[in-house]
């Protein structure tokens, strides 16, 4: 009365019981590469990676061993796990940064005030440095006047005097390199607080201010800076920068070299002196051409340095040197 299939199942169960009871031997069900099903107490090494099932004494599956993964699959899973870990680390980092931002600032005004405080501190250092340059400029003018008088009298210039002039010129270059670094810090402060302000508005769901009230509009333009990428380009632009200073200088140009040009200090309150520096990059052949204005340390002198004439001198520098509104390193 039993069908053929029933008989086969019955015989299989007997086989499983007999194999399992013989010293507790395990029975494995596995399929070969041709698709044939096998029931054995061992798995051939050649089939070990195909996957199999472990059966108990009653022929019931108690464990499933999946096929071994390929090297490509293992590598893909490893990379996926790495990416997930990195993503989670970024999420945690952003969450911590957001929490710190909300704890540090209560409003947009707090962020703007903190930013302006840092900018003010940087500007104080810049102004102190510029004042020191003004003193060095006056000292340099006296040394050059002494050297010129000696030359007119047909007398040799002492080596120490020549060295003193070179030292002051180097000191001025170093000062402007420091100012350039401070201006780079200033830009970094603006960029950082721009991101903080944007993120704060997102977290607080605050409206974005109208286009005309963008905080970036308050930043002073760096029209007194020209960048160059190679020595040949810097030489070419330096000649144009020197020509611009000589054309517009309100005070005499006693001397200049390939890295600095310092006009004489202002003799009157309304006069504007100009200092041009070629600040070499530390990592490559590029440089920054930096134009600065110096005025007398008086109320009228400071008014001269903030006048429209002074602004036009700065504004016209870059177009005169580059032939365009700006330049950038390639």
In whole angstroms, what separates CA 15 from the centre of its chain? 73
Per-chain mean pLDDT for the chain: 86
Q: Residue 23's pLDDT band (boundaries 50, 70, 90)?
A: very low
- In DSSP terms, which residues pair with 52 in a beta bridge? 65
* 111 and 39 co-located in one domain: no
- CATH number of the domain that 316 lies in? 3.30.310
> What is d(CA 275, CA 251) in angstroms, rounded to the nearest whole number?
11
Whether pLDDT at 14 is above 60 = no
Residue 76 lies in a domain: no
Residue 142 lies in a domain: yes
In whole angstroms, what separates CA 260 from the centre of its chain? 29
Predicted pLDDT of residue 215: 54
Predicted pLDDT of residue 18: 47
> What is d(CA 179, CA 191) in angstroms, rounded to the nearest whole number?
18
Please state the rounded mean pLDDT for residues 313-329.
78
* 259 and 326 co-located in one domain: yes
Whether pLDDT at 208 is above 90 = no
Please state the rounded mean pLDDT for residues 104-122.
95
* 311 and 240 co-located in one domain: yes
* 204 and 233 co-located in one domain: no
Cβ 273 vs Cβ 293: under 8 Å? yes
Residue 215 lies in a domain: no
Last residue of a domain, one of 65, 85, 101: 65
Whether pLDDT at 187 is above 80 = yes
Stated length of the chain: 330
Predicted pLDDT of residue 216: 55
* Phi and psi angles of residue 11, each rounded to the nearest 5 degrees, phi first: -65, -35
- In DSSP terms, which residues pair with 218 in a beta bridge? none
Last residue of a domain, one of 13, 48, 65: 65
Count CB-CB contacts under 10 A for residue 218.
11
- CATH number of the domain that 125 lies in? 1.10.287
221 versus 32: which is more confidently predicted?
32
pLDDT digits (tens, 9 = 90+) for 263-307: 999 999 999 999 999 999 988 899 999 999 999 989 999 999 999
Please state the rounded mean pLDDT for residues 8-37.
61
Phi-psi region of 22 (alpha: psi -120 to 50; beta: other; left: phi over 0): beta
Predicted pLDDT of residue 61: 83
Cβ 101 vs Cβ 202: under 8 Å? no
Predicted pLDDT of residue 129: 95
Percent of the chain past pLDDT 90, that is, above it, reads 64
Residue 74 lies in a domain: no
* 200 and 163 co-located in one domain: yes
Residue 26 lies in a domain: yes
Please state the rounded mean pLDDT for residues 187-197.
94
Last residue of a domain, one of 183, 209, 235: 209
Count CB-CB contacts under 10 A for residue 156.
8
* 193 and 154 co-located in one domain: yes
Q: Residue 17's pLDDT band (boundaries 50, 70, 90)?
A: very low
Q: What share of the chain is helix, strand, coil (3-state, %, to 5)?
A: 60, 15, 30
Domain count along the chain: 3
Cβ 64 vs Cβ 57: under 8 Å? no
* 103 and 31 co-located in one domain: no
* 199 and 303 co-located in one domain: no
Write out the residue range of the structural domain in which residue 140 sits.
Answer: 93-209
C-alpha distance across the termini of the chain, in Å: 91
> What is d(CA 172, CA 180) in angstroms, rounded to the nearest whole number?
12
4 versus 295: which is more confidently predicted?
295
User: In sequence order, which residues have a C-beta less than 8 Å from that of residue 169 and are 6 or more positions away?
Assistant: 140, 257, 260, 262
Predicted pLDDT of residue 35: 79
Please state the rounded mean pLDDT for residues 91-110.
95
Please state the rounded mean pLDDT for residues 24-50.
78
Q: Residue 329's pLDDT band (boundaries 50, 70, 90)?
A: very low
Predicted pLDDT of residue 328: 41
> CA-CA distances (angstroms) from residue 275 to 60, 248, 326?
93, 12, 20
Predicted pLDDT of residue 146: 95
Residue 108 lies in a domain: yes
Please state the rounded mean pLDDT for residues 173-196.
93
Whether pLDDT at 1 is above 80 = no
9 versus 48: which is more confidently predicted?
48
> What is d(CA 106, CA 193) in angstroms, rounded to the nearest whole number?
14
* 108 and 201 co-located in one domain: yes
* 171 and 203 co-located in one domain: yes
Residue 78 lies in a domain: no
Residue 214 lies in a domain: no
Please state the rounded mean pLDDT for residues 135-156.
93
* 187 and 227 co-located in one domain: no
* 99 and 18 co-located in one domain: no
Q: Residue 178's pLDDT band (boundaries 50, 70, 90)?
A: very high
């Amino acid at each position: 009365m039993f069908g053929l299939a029933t008989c086969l199942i019955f015989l299989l169960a007997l086989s499983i019981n007999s194999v399992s009871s013989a010293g507790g031997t395990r029975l494995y069900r596995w399929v070969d590469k041709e698709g044939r099903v096998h029931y054995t107490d061992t798995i051939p090494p050649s089939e070990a990676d195909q996957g199999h099932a472990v059966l108990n004494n009653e022929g019931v599956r108690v464990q499933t061993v999946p096929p071994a993964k390929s090297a490509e699959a293992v590598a893909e899973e490893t990379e996926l796990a790495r990416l997930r870990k990195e993503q989670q680390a970024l999420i945690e980092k952003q969450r911590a940064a957001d929490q710190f931002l909300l704890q540090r600032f209560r409003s947009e005004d707090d962020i703007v005030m903190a930013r302006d405080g840092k900018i003010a501190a940087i500007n104080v250092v810049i102004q102190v440095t510029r004042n020191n340059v003004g003193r060095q400029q006056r000292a340099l003018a006296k040394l050059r006047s002494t050297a010129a008088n000696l030359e007119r009298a047909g007398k040799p210039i002492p080596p120490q005097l020549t060295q003193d002039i070179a030292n002051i010129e180097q000191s001025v270059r170093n000062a402007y390199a420091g100012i350039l670094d401070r201006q780079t810090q200033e830009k970094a402060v603006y960029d950082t607080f721009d991101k903080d302000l944007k993120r704060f508005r997102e977290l607080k769901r605050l409206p974005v201010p109208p286009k005309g009230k963008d905080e970036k509009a308050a930043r002073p333009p760096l029209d007194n800076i020209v960048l160059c990428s190679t020595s040949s380009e810097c030489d070419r632009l330096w000649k144009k920068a020197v020509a611009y200073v000589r054309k517009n200088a309100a005070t005499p140009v006693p001397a200049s070299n390939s890295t600095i040009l310092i006009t004489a200090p202002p003799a009157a309150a309304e006069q504007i002196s100009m200092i041009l520096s070629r600040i070499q990059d530390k990592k490559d052949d590029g440089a920054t051409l930096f134009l600065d204005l110096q005025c007398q340390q008086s109320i009228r002198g400071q008014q001269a340095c903030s006048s429209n004439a002074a602004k036009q001198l700065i504004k016209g520098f870059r177009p005169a040197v580059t032939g365009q509104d700006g330049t950038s390193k390639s």
